[in-house]
Chains A and B, each alone.
Chain A
């Protein structure tokens, strides 16, 4: 079974606003990753945060990791129409297998 759970399931925001989504996982991890899926396409890797890191930035993306709560959040700042997609977290355990959450569908309205 998949390990991660994501919240919310869907999010609709105005262009320029920030989007925040959360992810929880169940077991110890090496790292946690976030991927984006545009409609009809495969997943694209966005950012990775290791288990000994608490926060990471990449462009307009900010990821946090709280290993005591087994949770992570992804913040997209100043959203654009092109950010419309589904976002998935994936936890990598010691067996190197990635377990994906159910995803958050983000719609950015112009």
Chain B
């Protein structure tokens, strides 16, 4: 499709529960990115993929966060044992990264609320 589809739009979890978010990138885009936005402030980079391979995971809190992009499946971002500070909007974006420029197309985001 021509849009990045993220599900669910809103997810509510109790502290300590697991949260899993999904992202279907634009068909033909080989790069996928996850960003975290807290309180409408800056976007914190989490992880990027080139097809199903992790490209850059320098932003991932390794202890509780994991992500995958498997062939023929939506990409996923999973948070084990959620904490209050994980409450944020998680954005997925995809790109072609052509002509030496990485222009991202973003999904509408998944809002995670941890109670």
Binding site for B on A (CB under 8 A): 2, 4, 30-31, 33, 35, 40-45, 48, 50, 86, 88, 90, 92, 95-103
Label chain A's interface by main secondary structure. Answer: strand
Interface size class of B (residues with CB under 8 A): 20 to 34
A42 B109 Cβ-Cβ under 8 A = yes
Bound together, the chains give a CA A67 to CA B108 distance in angstroms of 32
B101 A97 Cβ-Cβ under 8 A = no
| Chain A residues within an 8 Å CB radius of B35 | 100
| Chain A residues within an 8 Å CB radius of B42 | 2, 4, 88, 100-103
A99 B56 Cβ-Cβ under 8 A = no
B43 A45 Cβ-Cβ under 8 A = no
A102 B107 Cβ-Cβ under 8 A = no
Binding site for A on B (CB under 8 A): 4, 33, 35, 40-45, 48, 56, 91, 93, 97, 100-109
B107 to chain A: closest residue by CB = A42
B45 A97 Cβ-Cβ under 8 A = yes
Bound together, the chains give a CA A12 to CA B106 distance in angstroms of 26
